[in-house]
């Protein structure tokens, strides 16, 4: 069965995924909106940066974050100057890593949803003298709702499955940075295969259920 350490790892993982998803929805929405509407030459650059975590090995992300957020890295010097201290080996550090790691899983569905809305509803709103913010909250948000659901679910699930980034910057501290995937790795290394199975099977079931619900959702919403 699961030990208290396993349960602590599960709780920590869910917390991390929840915080990461919330942050990603807040910062991902304007980025996705800009990407969906812009004609700027920077669109390709920003789009590529957003998609980088799709192709980069998580260890690469983790390795550079470890250096960037360390005492000699620019981010580390900034956080120290701000009195926050250093981010590696902390929950905050994992959140930063996860936000980058799961970025495309939130931004891309949002961007697609925004693109699917098209020009017409915005023009109609403009003729009715709706301001930009009013248009966004009264027209765009309701129309893009399915996109937000997809973005939130994928962002959350992808963060739950994170391993390489946490391994590199986490330090495997119980109840602080030891998430489920690292706990599984520890079990396997210590030849505790029964415990590894409990957690691993749980991850498989969780991932399947989440994706099943997502993909069997009635299509539509974005017209």
Partner 1 sequence: MISAIRTVLAATALTLGVTHAFAAEVQVAVAANFTAPMQKIAAEFERDTGHKARLAFGATGKFYAQIRNGAPFEVFLSADDTTPAKLEEEGATVAGSRFTYAIGRLALWSAQAGVVDDKGEVLRRGAFAHLAVANPKTAPYGAAAQEVMHRLGVAEALAAKLVTGENIAQTHQFVASGNAELGFVALSQVWADGRLTGGSAWLVPAGLHAPLRQDAVILAPGRDKPAARALAEYLRGAKATAIIKSYGYGQ
Q: Which residues bind partner 1 (CB under 8 A)?
A: 66-67, 69-72, 85-86, 88-89, 167-168, 171-173, 185-186, 188-191
Distances (CA, A) of 146 to 24, 60, 125, 152: 16, 32, 21, 10
Closest Cα partner for 92 from 33, 177, 164, 157?
177
The minimum distance between CB 121 and partner 1, in angstroms, equals: 49
The minimum distance between CB 84 and partner 1, in angstroms, equals: 13
CA dist 62 and 33 (Å) reads 28
Q: Which is nearer to partner 1, 22 or 173 (CB)?
A: 173
The minimum distance between CB 153 and partner 1, in angstroms, equals: 30
The minimum distance between CB 13 and partner 1, in angstroms, equals: 17
CA dist 49 and 81 (Å) reads 27
**Residue pair 160/13 in contact by the 8 Å Cβ criterion:** yes
Q: 71: which residues sit within 8 A by CB, 6+ positions away?
A: 77, 80, 86
Q: Which is nearer to partner 1, 33 or 185 (CB)?
A: 185
Q: Which is nearer to partner 1, 15 or 186 (CB)?
A: 186
The minimum distance between CB 174 and partner 1, in angstroms, equals: 9
**Residue pair 143/117 in contact by the 8 Å Cβ criterion:** yes
Q: Which is nearer to partner 1, 75 or 130 (CB)?
A: 75
Q: Which is nearer to partner 1, 34 or 89 (CB)?
A: 89
């Amino acid at each position: 069965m699961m030990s208290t350490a396993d349960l602590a790892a599960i709780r920590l993982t869910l917390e991390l995924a929840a915080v990461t998803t919330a942050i990603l929805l807040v910062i991902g929405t304007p980025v996705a909106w800009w990407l969906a509407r812009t004609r700027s030459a920077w669109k390709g650059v920003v789009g590529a940066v957003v998609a980088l975590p799709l192709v980069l090995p998580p260890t690469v992300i983790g390795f550079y974050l470890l250096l960037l957020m360390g005492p000699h890295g620019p981010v580390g010097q900034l956080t120290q100057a701000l009195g926050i201290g250093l981010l590696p080996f902390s929950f905050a550090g994992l959140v930063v890593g996860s936000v980058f790691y799961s970025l495309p899983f939130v931004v891309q569905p949002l961007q697609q949803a925004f693109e699917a809305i098209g020009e017409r509803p915005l023009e109609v709103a403009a003729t009715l003298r709706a301001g930009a913010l009013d248009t966004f909250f009264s027209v765009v948000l309701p129309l893009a709702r399915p996109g937000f659901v997809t973005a939130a679910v994928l962002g959350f699930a992808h963060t739950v499955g994170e391993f390489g980034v946490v391994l590199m910057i986490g330090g495997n501290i119980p109840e602080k940075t030891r998430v489920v995937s690292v706990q599984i790795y520890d079990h396997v290394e210590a030849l505790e295969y029964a415990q590894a199975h409990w957690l691993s099977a749980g991850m498989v079931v969780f991932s399947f259920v989440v994706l099943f619900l997502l993909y069997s959702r009635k299509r539509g919403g974005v017209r």
